[in-house]
């Protein structure tokens, strides 16, 4: 269900070729780091898997389904962006509830969808259903933020904002979790706690996880598999142990 297969993925921009034929074969429940220097194509690879970027050529499969033409909101991928991309005028609860509301936008009758749309367009969300409240609170408890549900996101530290972004991805119960440089905006102490949180979540939920990093130590200490990227291509696939012992 949550396996990810990328076959000969090419992404050309006007002036640059970001991906020159990327292949990945990630089994359900595996924890992968995509490691490489800035500009090698890591983020582009993630954005193609999540559906925010259209590949020039190549195939992306999630489970056994080719998803090239499936819109992002139907791919069942939870994405945590590098800059978190939280909604500044929503509080913590609302930021996490937002994705559940968005999902409602794509289900139900025309009338229900119109109502959901109107609600989303208004500045504050209307009172969420009991089910949404329960799911949001569960997700917030899970990232140890239950006590901050009513806070504005601008009042939170970077590490707390990161946790909100993580809860917002998890509340959708995605089959694949994608994270772009999840530790890069945090100081050293927060990095260590976040590292532990991410590992715990990955092991608890056994969710297929791919995270992008330029930091070799980070990749090796967190992931079970490391895909090393250079200049638009995967140049090595290994476990951390294999990487340690390779010359
Ligand atoms: P990384 O995440 O490894 O830093 P990216 O995937 O962001 O690398 O970028 C790979 C290459 O594609 C870079 O050369 C970058 O300049 C280029 N690129 C990325 N996004 C765009 C875009 N929207 N338009 C043009 N070029 C882009
Ligand atoms: P009940 O119907 O059980 O009394 P409440 O209205 O007290 O539920 O809400 C329970 C929790 O749900 C609150 O603590 C709050 O975090 C969250 N919540 C409910 N409505 C909203 C809303 N419109 N915006 C943000 N959070 C909300």
Is 133 touching ligand 2 by the criterion CB < 6 Å?
Answer: yes
Q: What is the pLDDT of residue 123?
A: 47
Is 189 touching ligand 2 by the criterion CB < 6 Å?
Answer: no
Is 34 touching ligand 1 by the criterion CB < 6 Å?
Answer: no
What are 135-171's pLDDT values in tens digits?
999 999 999 999 999 999 999 998 899 999 999 999 9
Ligand 1 centroid from CA 214, angstroms: 14
Closest atom of ligand 2 to CA, residue 91 = 25
Ligand 1 centroid from CA 17, angstroms: 8
Provide the angle, in degrees to the nearest 10, between the axes of the packed helices 130-142 and 158-170.
130
Is 93 touching ligand 2 by the criterion CB < 6 Å?
Answer: yes
Q: What is the pLDDT of residue 89?
A: 85
Q: Which residues pair with 177 in a beta bridge?
A: 78, 209
Positions in the chain whose pLDDT score sits under 50: 123
- Residue whose CA is closest, atom 16 of ligand 1? 39
Interstrand relation of 208-213 and 57-62 (parallel, antiparallel or unpaired): unpaired
Is 225 touching ligand 1 by the criterion CB < 6 Å?
Answer: no
Q: What is the pLDDT of residue 39?
A: 95
What is the C-alpha separation between 12 and 85, in angstroms, rounded?
Answer: 25
- Residue whose CA is closest, atom 23 of ligand 2? 127
Is 232 touching ligand 1 by the criterion CB < 6 Å?
Answer: no
Q: What is the pLDDT of residue 121?
A: 57
Interstrand relation of 65-66 and 57-62 (parallel, antiparallel or unpaired): antiparallel
Judge contact between 17 and 228, C-beta under 8 A. no
Is 44 touching ligand 1 by the criterion CB < 6 Å?
Answer: yes
Ligand 1 centroid from CA 207, angstroms: 27
DSSP states of the chain as a string? ---EEEEEEEEE-SS-EEEEEEEEEE-TT-EEEEE--TTSSHHHHHHHHHTSS--SEEEEEETTEE-TTS-GGGTTEEEE-TT----TTSBHHHHHHHHHHHHHHTSS-HHHHHHHHHHHHSSSPPPPPHHHHHHHHHHHHHTT-GGGTTSBGGGS-HHHHHHHHHHHHHTT--SEEEEESTTTTS-HHHHHHHHHHHHHHHHHHT-EEEEEES-HHHHHHH-SEEEEEETTEEEEEE-HHHHHH--
Is 64 touching ligand 2 by the criterion CB < 6 Å?
Answer: no
Ligand 2 centroid from CA 91, angstroms: 12
0.90 cut: is pTM over it?
A: no
Is 131 touching ligand 2 by the criterion CB < 6 Å?
Answer: no
């Amino acid at each position: 269900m949550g396996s990810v297969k990328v076959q000969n993925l090419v992404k050309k921009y006007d002036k640059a070729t970001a991906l020159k034929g990327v292949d990945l074969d990630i089994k359900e429940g595996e924890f992968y780091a995509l490691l490489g220097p800035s500009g090698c194509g890591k983020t582009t690879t993630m954005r193609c898997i999540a559906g925010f970027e259209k590949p020039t050529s190549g195939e992306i499969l999630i489970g056994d389904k080719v998803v090239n033409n499936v819109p992002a909101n139907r791919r069942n991928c939870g994405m945590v962006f590098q800059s978190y991309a939280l909604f500044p005028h929503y509080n913590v609860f609302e930021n996490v509830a937002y994705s559940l509301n968005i999902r409602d936008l794509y289900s139900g009758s025309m009338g229900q969808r119109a109502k959901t749309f109107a609600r989303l367009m208004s500045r504050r969300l209307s009172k969420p259903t009991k089910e949404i409240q329960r799911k949001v609170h569960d997700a917030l408890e899970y990232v140890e933020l239950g006590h901050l549900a009513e806070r504005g996101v601008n009042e939170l530290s970077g590490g707390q904002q990161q946790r909100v972004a993580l809860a917002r991805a998890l509340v959708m119960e995605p089959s694949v979790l994608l994270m772009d440089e999840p530790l890069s905006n945090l100081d050293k102490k927060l990095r260590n706690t976040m590292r532990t949180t991410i590992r715990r979540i990955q092991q608890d939920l056994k969710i297929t996880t791919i995270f992008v990093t330029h930091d070799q130590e980070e990749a090796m200490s967190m992931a079970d598999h490391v895909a090393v990227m250079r200049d638009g291509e995967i140049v090595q696939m290994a476990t951390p142990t294999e990487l340690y012992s390779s010359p």
